[in-house]
Structure 1
Amino acid sequence: MAGNSQRKGAIRKSSKAPTAGSGGRVRRGLEGKGPTPKAHERPNHKAYKAAQAAKKQAPKPRRRSTSDVEWIAGRNPVVEALREGVPINAVYVAEGAERDGRLREAFAIAAEKGISLLEVGRGELDRLTHGAVHQGLAARIPAYEYAHPDDLLDRAAEMGEPPLIVVLDSVTDPRNLGAVVRSAAGFGAHGVVIPERRAASMTASAWKTSAGAAARIPVAQAGNLTRQLKAYQDAGCMVVGLAADGEVELPQLDLADGPLVLVVGSEGNGLSRLVAETCDQLVSIPMANQVESLNAGVAASVALYAIAQARA
């Protein structure tokens, strides 16, 4: 019957879903994508590439500091650190701590040097020193500020002297580091260089062993020791390494009075292979008994004394 939409085939049905309009499925596609990124924010734009290149060529910080402060815990260690001139931010004493001679001496030195003296609860002092045996007394040491290796050359130039730099190759004992710093200061070196990793750093123990010399001579850190030695060579320095099997004995070293970098190896293994290969010359310290050996601190002191005599 005409107009009967209920009969079979009266309405053609489509298998496709109805097309959505601008208010339907495609609305998201019509929405704006926000402001156009600036040129230096677009990875494919030349301005972006230029900005990234500038970041890579930016000068590195000339100085870096250790990340955390250090604590000296215990009455004797704190008093010894105060006597030796170790830089201390503040001295902490636990409430109710027994006032003996060491505590009174610590108070007196701190007052004389203008170091802050703070009284805290024993539990708080336990927390600050990470549970160390502090005996009611502790001292806070600031992060050490390392020089840049190039600063040591600048220091020599300012003093009008040929550079003399001591480089330590993986020396891990902070007392040896402190001893080397003390000898370097005493024999006219312009600084000490240590690796950033797997080596002793300027801790309280190194400060104390240096007997205050760490405040008079810069200590620098190098990310790659071999690369830094090559940089010193490019700057005109001869690099000499101490080695038991060195081809030249220390008294016959004829490079002592020129720009010189003295490399001292680790306590057990001596110079690493790459460092030894980079040295211009390997020098030995003559010994009466070949079985005997010197630790890093003593070996550096002997060599620096010989170099100082040659320069004089």
Structure 2
Amino acid sequence: MRLHVGCAMWSHRSWQGRFLAHPLPAHERLRSYASWCNAVEGNTTFYATPNRETALSWARQTDPGFRLVVKLPKTITHDRCLTDVDDIARSFLDAIEPLGPRVHAVWAQLPAAFGPADVPLLGRFLSGLGTGHRYAVEVRHPAFFENPRAASLLTSALAPLDAEWIPFDTTVFFRSPPTSDAERDAWAKKPRTPLRTAALTDRPIVRYLGRDDAERTVEGWQPWVDVVTGWLREGRSPTVFIHTPDNADAPLLARRFHDDVRARVPELEALPTPIPAEPLTLF
């Protein structure tokens, strides 16, 4: 039984000297992060396909139990809208091959313009990727959340592929107006989608956005503690990513979420002991 938790990235300026040693070479930052969390969102691949040597470096910095949910490049999902992308997709899957079992899922984050009429295209695209990976999809078109027929259309397309539907829970964030620059920026950019807590597979994935106030973030995720506890008791292996607008305390909050669930499920495997951000001394 294992719960994977993590953040939207493995390096952040505000983490230096707090969660990650400083200075720390770029090729060592994932190793340090992986002592705090056992999963990470692979958002960097949205902007460019990494070369195999980069993927091999990520593998060297993590143990086989670490998990990456690796986002497909925007060229595939946004620029070409899943059309005429076979060569790009094959190149991407080849590039991440050195990660091996660390790839928890290949993640298609689709634009808000992707609606119910596009679901058959998604099914054909995912089927064409082959069975070498698990796949997960994030949609933002309102119809998938407001129209039961649209939701059923999507789940029916994903089920035969054992693909997951990733919810991005921003409901707590949008309950009250922003109070910081980071929150104001997120207010303008993050999607406003209704809460969805259903799992399609035995490996559900959740993205949760709280507030810059840690206690409000913790208060807001309590329903997810219940849901994740239930998933674990059903034999599922969930992955939960904790976001805040500034992400300043995200690694600590991810561990706190794990602690909250482990208090309910004591047999849950513990997270690793973090690598100290400052050198140990004799005094």
Same fold (TM over 0.5): no
Structure ranking higher in helix proportion: 2
Give TM-score, length-normalised by structure 1. Answer: 0.28
Q: Which has the higher contact order (CA 8 A, sep 6+)?
A: 2
Give TM-score, length-normalised by structure 2. Answer: 0.30
